[in-house]
Structures are given as structure tokens and as C-alpha cells.
Chain A
Amino acid sequence: MEIIVCIKQVPGTTEVKIDPATNTLIREGVESIINPFDTYALEEGLRMKERWGGKVTTITMGPPQAEKALREAIAMGIDEGVLLSDRAFAGADTLATSYALFRAIEKIGSYDLIICGKQTMDGDTGQVGPELAERLGTPFVTYVKKVEEVNDGHIKVERMIEDGYEVVEMPLPGLITVVKEINEPRLPSLRGMMKAKSAEITIWTASDLGVDTSKVGLAGSPTQVVRIFAPERSRKSEILQGDVSSQVDQLVKKLREAKIV
């Protein structure tokens, strides 16, 4: 199987806060990591390769530093890494991101399955996977928690929904987005880390992809962020005092007064 895993490098924490006094953002100095959901996508790609043979390529779009994420993926066992990096790609929303990835995957050529994490930790949208599938003209299944089998040009997966899961069959080539429950990502091996050090990373710019720059990056993004602010924290906290029975009585009384129970 030819598998392509799409990953994103994200800040290693979501702990960005706004200083209420100055209304400015405060960020703890942190390292960039592979989006946690994407590590499940990488692991699933590796497991499928181990079971059905083939090759796993990973692709990311980001600044030159995102190369580190690709090397981490190679250390896990991924065969090849492709970095899409160009100032023209910056500021992309999900639609523009899906376009750049689409053109890169076209350039790679053949594939059987594309795997994405269910969403990223910084944007939390979960939109790039389905948008990419649509641009490629392939079917997709979101929120996959298990790959049951690959057989006769079809893949059978379990898709998590609100009240259980569906068993879905999809013809290949196709795209899946995966949830955390699907596996436990492996740690990089020593051999993998050695390989990652010297691995050659393919870097493609906008002109390598031959893209119309009005369709990528900020220019190709129909959505715009007009305001960023701290969420309201109007909640007043009250620590209930007294012994257990008094604490419980106070709490029940308050919840009752608020007509919650």
C-alpha cells in the first residue's frame, strides 16, 4: 500500500493566555511538536505498512523549521518526508491549506490511502482532511477509531459518532481522519533516529508545485481572523467551608436555588 500521512507542526502547548491588565498575549516559551492527533495517523500508517506492505510518505506544510517534524516522523519509521515551504503558503486557512496539500499529493502521484489526524491542537477545526479529499476527488471517512481490513481495493473502518460507532466501507484510494483511540503511537527507535538525522527531506515551494499563488496562503483563504481575545471568565469561584455534611448541604441548596437540579 502507498500511504501518505499529512501532519502539522504545532506549538507544544495550548497554554496561551491573555494578560487581563494589558490585554496582550502571554505565551510560555515552548518547543514545537507534531500535532498529537497526527502521531496516531503516523502510527496507523506504519501499522498498515507492516501488515500489508508498501511505503509511507509524510507531508507537512509550514516554515522551514517544520522539517524537524518530518525527521521525528522518519525516526518513528516513516519512509520519506516532504515539506511544503514558501512564504506564499503562510496565513492559509483550511481551504488554502487543502489546496497546497492537494497539489503536492498530485505531484507525488499514486497513493492508496491518505491518513490525517482528526484535527490540530492549535486550530481545532478538523476541516483540512475532508477538504483535501474533496479536492482530490476521493471519498473519505472522518473520526476513524479502527481499521478493520483492507481487501480487494476497499478499506473497512470503524467510525466514531456521538452514540457509538459505524462500520464503514470505502473504496480506495481514499482518505481517513483518525482519533486517539485507534492506537498507541510508538516511540522513535535508535535506528530510526540515526536514519532521521541523515534522511533527505524533499522541499517544495509554490513554484515547484506550479500553484497559482492566489489560491494558497493568505491570498487563497476565504476566511479572515478579525479579532483575537481572551475568553470571558466571569465565573466567581466559591470554596464551600465546613464539614462534609455542611458542604454538601450548601452545594445542594445552591444548585437548587439555581434550578439546576
Chain B
Amino acid sequence: MGIKVILDKCTGCKLCLKSCPYNAISISEKKAVIGSSCTLCGFCVEACKLEAIVIEKEEAKAADIADYSGVWVFAEQRWGRIAPVVYELLGEGRKLADALETRLSAALLGENVKEKASDLITHGADEVYLVESKFLESYLDDAYSRVIVDMVREHKPSILLMGATAIGRSLAPKVAAMLETGLTADCTALEIDTEKKLLLQTRPAFGGNIMATIICPNRRPQIATVRPRVMKRASRNEKKRGEIIEKKMKPEDLSSRTRVLDFVEDLTEKVKLEEADIIVSGGRGLGGPENFKLVEELADVLEAAVGASRATVDAGWIPYSHQVGQTGKTVCPKLYIACGISGAIQHLAGMQTSDVIVAVNKDPEAPIFQVATYGIVGDLFEVIPALTAKFKEMLGG
């Protein structure tokens, strides 16, 4: 158990030294020495050209994983509206289920949501497990996790997918801890290793600068939360048939310790950042809070959401809910227009997976241009109004 340098192979080339995010490696007598700050992250193993560093792990005895099969999607809903990410999970889940030659199921929890079950079937589910109760009307960690864990224990799915939303990222870790299984957060790619029948879960780490592929070989189910707007949405097939399996839970099993007393909608966001096809974002280049109206006008014409850099939020120009980046929201719209944003690495981490990025900045050296599909080096006070006018003319607004 642990990490080892194979001295015969190590040439002291220092590639591992440079790769270590934790400064844990030193070179002594032309050999790598791994110090106590090592976290076994594995970066050096990847970096070493000579396969001179190995991490050994005793293989835990595979639990009764053979009993588990099927791909499940948690059909998140609020006020009877299925979250958009669920259709993406169904699209991706279908592919995984086909690769494993197994069934795709959806778990739908709520109050008066039965009519949505057929919608999940026409989007690819072979069956829908439906649990209705007034105690499930709005999402609560305790009640929802108990239902999911109960169903997992009964039906033993091999894979369980949830959206990486505020709900999914609370529910998934609670469920994973209850089942003592592995969980991978915020995946952007899923694939099946058909030989080993394992789910290959790929996700960004270190603010999107590194991608890591993660497996959960010895526990089931393999649980992943999936970043919204990355996977392709399932297409609708009216002819698709499936089964709706209703399950009753005792009310006493649906009690929750937390209570939601109120919901306050954020009215400064006309279009939600996470769901927007187009985002127009403003940065320090705007010069002051009053100039956010340039960004808002362009956003209005495009029916886009308004984003912001951390600097503008910290300066109090716009509320935090608009912040895109590492300490704000992660977005991946079809089009991201960055106005006066220099492109600090923390900002790029939140938007660099957007399909098309347009950057408007007066500094040609600004790092935002390195990730931009189209760059305009110029004065945003001229460019943005001109762009707004042009789109208005084109879209007939």
C-alpha cells in the first residue's frame, strides 16, 4: 500500500517534481524522493515517462457487484417541472444502458407528478419508478435520500446518475454515504469500459485545468453527478413504451429534520445563468456599475442571461448570483460573450467549456483571447452598443 519510486527506473529527470501540486517530491542523489506532504494524487505517476513511480492499492474484495445491473436516472423536479438536466441524463443514460445491454430506469419522486412519468419514457426510460407523497412535494434531503436508498437496495442498479444541481449535489453525497459507495462529482463525460463493465467518469479538477477519469470498481451502485448542459438531450420518441412502477412509502419513513420555510426568487436574473443558451458577461472593463446596462441591453436583445466577473461582484456592481467562475457559477452556454473581462484563470474555469466564446477587450494581451473563438480588440463602449444595434436590427426587435 502506498507510493513507491522504482529506483532502477528513476533517472532523476525531475518531471515528477514539476508535476506535483503539493510540492512533495525532491531529488536526492539523482532519484526522486517522495515526502510526507504526498496525498497520493497520482499526478507524478502520470508525469513519469519511465513508469518509475507506482501507487499500489490492495484490491478490495469485490462485493456482490454481480447482482447489480441497470442504469438509473434521478428525475429531479421542482413544482412539477422536470429539471432540464434530467433529459440530458436520459440521453446519456440510454447510451450507457445500450453499451451494457441493460435497462434504463428513472426514479421520479414528488406530489402529483405521475403525468411526468410518460414524458420520461418517451425520452428513453424503459421504466419509471414513481413515488408520490405530500411529504415529497418539495425536495428535502432526508425524505428523498431515504426513498432513493430504499429503491437502490431493492432493485440494485449498477449506475445511478443525478444532475450536478443544488439538489443533486446535496442528495448524491448523502445517498453515497448511506450506501457507502463511490461518488464522482460534476462529470462532463461518461463512458463504459465494456470489457470490465465499469463506468468511466471524467470530470474537471483544479478549476478545469486538469481532467480526471475516475472509476468505482468494487462498490455499487456507481454514482455520478453530471454537469448540466454538457450531455446531449434525449430526443423524444412518442412510440417508445415503458412501464410505470408505483411504489408506496410509509409517511413515517418520509419525515425530514429540515424544513423549508420560504422560497425567495432572485428577480435580478431575468434568465437563469445555468439554463441560458446565451450569456453576456461584464467585467472590470465596464468601469462602473452604471455601465452594466450595456451588458443588460445586449442580453435583452439576445434573450440571454447576464453574467459577471468576480471583480465586479466584489466591487458591489452586481449581485453574487451573477458571478461566473471558480467561486461563482460554472456555465457552458452555446454562446458566451465576455465584455471587458480580462480572463483570470478563475473566471475561465467557470466558462471555458462554452461552445462559442466571444471576447471584447481593449487589451490584446488579455488572457480571455486565448480561449475566445472570436476576439474583438477594441473599446467595449463602442463595440457592445454597435453589436446590440446590429442584433436588434437582425432579430427585428
On A, residues with C-beta under 8 Å from B are: 11, 13-18, 22, 24-27, 29, 32, 36-37, 62-65, 87, 90-91, 93-95, 98, 121-131, 133-135, 139-143, 145, 156, 158-171, 174, 179-181, 214, 217-219, 221-231, 233, 235-240, 244-245, 247-249, 251-252, 254-256, 258, 260-261
Contact = CB atoms under 8 A, between A and B. Distances in A.
B39 A127 contact: no
A248 B337 CA distance: 13
Given A223-B184, A248-B383, A163 B257 contact: no
Interface stretch (B94-102, B232-240, B370-378): B370-378
19 contacts: A16-B21, A16-B206, A24-B19, A25-B21, A29-B23, A65-B37, A91-B40, A125-B183, A125-B185, A128-B173, A130-B170, A160-B166, A162-B272, A167-B263, A167-B264, A228-B213, A229-B210, A245-B386, A247-B383
Nearest to A25: B19
Contacts of A123: 185, 205
B269 interface: yes
Contact of A252 (B210, B262, B391): B391
A223 B182 contact: yes
A125 B187 CA distance: 10
Contacts, number: 310
Contacts of A167: 260-264
Contact of A130 (B174, B334, B370): B174
Contact of A240 (B37, B173, B275, B375): B375
Question: For the side of the interface on B, what is the size category?
Answer: 35 or more
Contacts of A223: 182-184, 214-216
Interface in B1-28: 1-2, 15, 18-24
B249 interface: no
Interface stretch (B41-49, B66-74, B115-123, B124-132): B41-49
Contact of B211 (A162, A218, A229, A252): A229
Given A62-B37, A139-B141, A222-B216, 20 more contacts: A24-B15, A24-B49, A27-B19, A91-B55, A124-B207, A126-B173, A134-B174, A163-B265, A163-B269, A165-B263, A179-B320, A180-B328, A223-B183, A233-B371, A235-B372, A247-B378, A256-B394, A258-B356, A260-B335, A261-B395
Nearest to B201: A223
B217 interface: yes
Contacts of B58: 219
A261 B382 contact: no
Interface in B342-368: 345-346, 349, 352, 355-358, 364
Interface string B161-197: 0000111011011101110111111100000000000
A162 B258 contact: no
Contacts of B262: 166-167
A165 B37 contact: no
B207 A14 contact: yes
Given A14-B345, A91-B39, A219-B57, A228 B369 contact: no
B204 to A, nearest CB: 7
A252 B390 contact: yes
B42 to A, nearest CB: 5
A222 B221 CA distance: 11
Contact of B200 (A91, A169, A226, A258): A226
Contact of B213 (A225, A240, A261): A225
A113 B334 CA distance: 41
A231 B37 contact: no
B261 A156 contact: yes
Q: Which 10 A-B pairs have the closest CB atoms?
A: A91-B40, A222-B182, A14-B207, A25-B19, A134-B177, A130-B173, A63-B37, A125-B185, A223-B182, A139-B257
A63 B182 contact: no
Contacts of B151: none
B376 A251 contact: yes
A231 B238 CA distance: 37
Contact of A124 (B38, B204, B352, B382): B204
Nearest to A217: B40
Contacts of B357: 235
Given A32-B22, A226-B200, A95 B180 contact: yes
